[in-house]
Chains A and B, each alone.
Chain A
Amino acid sequence: MAARSRRRGSPRVTLIFLVLLSLTIITLDFRGDGGGAIERVRGTTADALSPVRRAADTVLTPVGDAFSGVTGYGSLQRQNDQLRKQIAQLQGQQFANQNAQMERDQLLALNGLQDQLGSYRRVTARVVSAPVSNFEQTIELDVGSNRGVGVDMPVVTGAGLVGRVVEVSGSRSVVRLITDPASSVGVRLVTTGEAGIADGEGPHRDLSVSYVSADSAVTVGELLVTSGLAGGSDLYPAGIPVGKVHTATQVEGELDKRIRIVPVADLDHLVFVQVVITR
């Protein structure tokens, strides 16, 4: 009887021990205790597997794209049609933009000002890993502190903002995309200059913008850039394109407009990005 009781009790002791051990580790991580041991464990494990992940990514990206094509054929076709339409519009805009850019550069020079974003050095990086978790929108880059990359630095493509660096080791870094539910970016509307905060809502979903007053004029397709003001916990240099207004609705009785924006950077097909070295 006693032996049977011990047999039953032993697994429970193991369970209690492991649960307590987990809670201790979580507490140490929260308090930042352990002399950075937890960060070292994370970094070392990820560094060790980085070459394997990079190789697998190179081999499997085309296969994964084909798989996505099969499972999402309808949406791909719609996206393709939309992109063709956008190309035609953009070709028309290109000449107007070149002229505007020239005028802007001349004005900045006349007033002795410097383009805030242009004054920073940039490091080009290759995306070596797609998001691992179903909850987090993070990617891994093949550059780290060895190239001057640090935590909180913005990551961009030629089109606009991708996200910010949240973890760095010697030769790799992890970037939280602006679509991650934990991401919030301080933005402003280009035409009115009104500021707001753009929050991520997960993969393939628009960002929601809050704190834009109900009486402000917002048009669909309007560009939003980083405001340079702290949005939640994230801080970016001003003037980086973030997204274009997809929908803007006014609900009676609400003080703010409900705005949803589409990121201008293609976050689903990132191959090369640039880390803006802000310090």
Chain B
Amino acid sequence: MTTVVRLPPVLLVAVVLHTAVVPHFRVFGVAADMLVLVAVAAGVAGGPERGAAVGFVCGLLADCFLQTPFGLSALVLTLVAWAVGGLQTRIVHAIWWIPMLTMGAGAAAAVVLYAILGAVMGESQLISTRLLVIAAVVGVIDGLLGPLVVRVMRWVFDVDPRGAVVLGPR
């Protein structure tokens, strides 16, 4: 119940940041992807199932502002948030930078998967040499912002700070 109340405002803030704020701050012409970040942070904070659910919603929100097939981002973020959540819950006694690295790699993987699946669906222009630059920049920025967003998602899911990250399945 807590999650149902807390998640919508967090998603609203994420969408506003994603569409109105972050595009103004670009490194090598690439901006951070806030909705990817929220999805992978949900995986880290809440595990694969909750991660996949939040990833799906974040993907649908992202698709509202794109010209690529509607549902493509939803599919990508569902899979990536699931994978990140699954990976994170298997790590016992994680060092502080492991979640950052996981989220950075997850965000970069989301960018690459989006381009590949998009190309399979006929959007061949998504595959170019620039793809690696986009994946690298998004991965680094999202990785750096990750710990902050994980804290927000822990609050959303009302979980113990040590819950998903430090303690693995017993």
- A residues at B contact (CB < 8 Å): 10-11, 14-15, 18-19, 21-26, 28-30, 38, 41-42, 45-46, 49, 52-53, 55-57, 60-61, 63-64, 67-68, 71, 129-136, 138, 166-167, 174, 176, 180-182, 201-204
Whose C-beta in chain B lies nearest to the C-beta of A13? B49
| A52 contacts across to B, CB distance below 8 A | 16, 20
A-B contact count (CB 8 A): 140
**Contact partners of B19 in chain A: CB under 8 A:** 49, 53, 129, 132
* Partner among A29, A41, A45, A134 whose Cβ is within 8 Å of the Cβ of B31: A134
Q: Is B33's CB under 8 angstroms from A166's CB?
A: no
Q: Is B78 a contact of A49 with CB atoms below 8 Å?
A: no
* Interface positions of B from 1 to 46, Cβ below 8 Å from A: 15-16, 18-21, 23-27, 29-31, 33
Residue of B nearest to A39 (CB): B70
Q: Which of B48, B64, B111 contacts A41 (CB 8 A)?
A: B64
Is B53 among interface residues, defined by CB-CB distance under 8 A? Answer: yes
Does A129 lie within 8 Å of B20, measured CB to CB?
yes
Contact B49 A14 (CB under 8 A): yes
**A199 nearest CB across to chain B (Å):** 9
Distance of B4 from chain A, by nearest CB (Å): 16
Q: Which residue of A lies closest to B60 (CB)?
A: A25
Closest Cβ neighbor of A54 among chain B residues:
B20
B-side interface mostly = helix
Which residues of B approach A to under 8 Å, CB–CB?
15-16, 18-21, 23-27, 29-31, 33, 47-49, 52-53, 56, 59-61, 63-72, 74-75, 78-79, 82, 111, 114-115, 118, 121, 123, 125-126, 128, 130, 134, 138
The answer to whether B21 touches A56, judged by C-beta atoms less than 8 angstroms apart, is: yes
Contacts beyond the supplied A26-B69, A63-B24, A134-B31: 13 A-B pairs with Cβ under 8 Å: A11-B52, A18-B56, A22-B72, A22-B75, A26-B121, A29-B69, A56-B21, A64-B23, A64-B26, A135-B125, A136-B66, A138-B67, A182-B123
Q: Which residues of A contact B68 (CB under 8 A)?
A: 135-136
- Neighbour of B65 across the interface among A19, A28, A46, A176, CB < 8 A: A46
> Which B residues are in CB contact (< 8 Å) with A166?
67
Find B79's partner among A19, A49, A57, A131 (CB 8 Å cutoff): A19
Bound Cα distance from A15 to B55, whole angstroms: 11
